[in-house]
Amino acid sequence: MSAEPTETATESSPEPRADIAVTGLAVMGANLARNFARHGYVVAVHNRSAERTESLLAEHGDEGEFVGTETLAELVAELKRPRRVLVMVAAGAVDAVIAELAELLEPGDVVIDGGNSHYPDTIRREQALAERGLHFVGVGVSGGEDGALNGPAIMPGGSPASYQSLGPMLEDIAADFQGDPCCAWIGPNGAGHYVKMVHNGIEYADMQVIGEAYDLMRQVAGISPAEQAEIFATWNTTQLESYLIDITAQVLGHIDATTGKPLVDVIVDSAGQKGTGRWTAISGLDIGSGVAAIAESVFARTVSSQRQVRAQAQQLLSAGAEPVTIDDREAFIDDVAQALYASKLVSYAQGIDMLTTAAATYDWPLDIGTIASLWRNGCIIRARLLDEIMQAYGGRDVTRHPDPQNSGAGDYPANLLFAPKFTEAITATLPAWRRVVATGVAAGVPVPVFSSALAWYDQMRAERLPAALTQGLRDYFGAHTYQRVDRHGSFHTLWSQDRSEIEH
């Protein structure tokens, strides 16, 4: 239902009356503005092109109280103090909008970036605005268009003081899980956007292993998309229960109206990406956290997009694979389910390792129990598994308020898989997981994340790794030294001389 536009700034009363402002009214910005309004907040809205502002007011003005404005100056003038401005503009315009707002705002006001900004940019922006007495809050928002309107998972960074002002509003519009808001203060400066980035990295891996499970069942066992829709729907009643498993069943069961074929057979097999998965892989390398499964999922999307090269490869490169016969289809399906669960566990374990490593690197009080609880609803990776992860990391007070003195360390397991529940769970999957990877390799069906996750698992539990030889080679050609297992210190062999050993 449409409504007459709410009054514009020039018609408004002299006293500021808006509780929060939103600039940038593409779908995500518009839906967040509507979400605030539906929760009783007066929302000032602005867009560079006035048509979007007018459209929002005309189509959704009856959902709450909006104040339409034509300029950022008018937007700021409509806000009660402390002023809170949510920036939802395209990535390339964020700095320009922030610069303009900084000239209009006063100390104590809050600028919020709700887009998928890269966390180093958030750190930089927070430092720059802090010098002017302004609060800058990088907010991770997950849940897509529907979540923005009906309740996303929200991961706000920024100063503790900014959360005192902004936090209750964000908690109001967030998704909830059994009555608890999927929003809590994450940590200072770039912490919120960092956690959202890792969320997206896990999401990349999660989708890739689902795709590999589908491909194996299709290519090796000949199971049709319609049959797989039923399989995934059944899996969604098990330990695999999640939003992504649920929508996989729906996508696989959908028939294209034009061709009558399964929609999945009509979609071009090239997966896009917007950068957050790539940032996760790069950050893992930067801070020394081994996120191979997540990185492999990013590479899988990259390979999928190289369609011209792939077309040549199909003509020139042979599989060298023997046909694989599945004698017991139900047993194979169960094996794939177990391999999928194990690979998902590894992707979460790698993401959580990134978070604990980043907490130490950037001095952020990241609380894994808190973060896991935020992801239980509203976001893309919401899953039954997250409640178990939350418990493994000590639970939380879901309405946790900023405590910069909290190190976030707690009595956490050093790795997710060391928690007894998950040690048992992944041990139970190992025979099936190994059979599935071996079947994929034998059949020539690519399983990059299934196999990468298993290789990571085996690396973690190995008594000795070939890194000893790697370090010996490094010492040979670059005098990089090595350590010994039998005494302390750093050593170098004089390879080009008498090959005696010296201590550095």
What 8-state DSSP symbol labels residue 63?
Answer: G
Tokens of 228: 């797989």
Tokens of 441: 């390799």
The reply, when asked if residue 46 is annotated as ligand binding, is no
Catalytic residue among 126, 171, 203, 296: 203
In whole angstroms, give the CA distance from residue 155 to residue 384.
Answer: 20
156 beta partners: 139
The reply, when asked if residue 307 is annotated as ligand binding, is no
The reply, when asked if residue 60 is annotated as ligand binding, is no
Q: Determine contact, residues 275/119, Cβ cutoff 8 Å.
A: no
Catalytic residue among 78, 171, 196, 344: 196
- Check if 344 is active-site: no
- Check if 227 is active-site: no
The reply, when asked if residue 89 is annotated as ligand binding, is yes
The reply, when asked if residue 49 is annotated as ligand binding, is yes
C-alpha 486 chain-centroid distance: 43
The reply, when asked if residue 25 is annotated as ligand binding, is yes
The reply, when asked if residue 222 is annotated as ligand binding, is no
DSSP track, 66-90 = EEE-SSHHHHHHTBPSSPEEEE---
The reply, when asked if residue 189 is annotated as ligand binding, is no
The alpha carbons of the chain give a radius of gyration, in whole angstroms, of 26
Q: Determine contact, residues 387/376, Cβ cutoff 8 Å.
A: yes
The reply, when asked if residue 474 is annotated as ligand binding, is yes
The reply, when asked if residue 236 is annotated as ligand binding, is no
Using alpha carbons, select from 413, 358, 204 the residue that is nearest to residue 292. 204
In whole angstroms, give the CA distance from residue 436 to residue 4.
Answer: 60
Direct distance between the N- and C-terminal alpha carbons of the chain, in angstroms, rounded to an integer: 77
The reply, when asked if residue 142 is annotated as ligand binding, is yes
- Evaluate the omega torsion of the peptide bond into residue 107 and state whether it is cis, within 30 degrees of 0: no
Q: How far is CA 256 from CA 224, 248, 264, in A?
A: 15, 15, 9
Would you list which residues are annotated within the binding site for substrate? 116, 142-144, 199-200, 204, 274, 301, 474, 480
Would you list which residues are annotated within the binding site? 24-29, 47-49, 89-91, 116, 142-144, 199-200, 204, 274, 301, 474, 480
Would you list which residues are annotated within the binding site for NADP(+)? 24-29, 47-49, 89-91, 116
Residues assigned a catalytic role: 196, 203
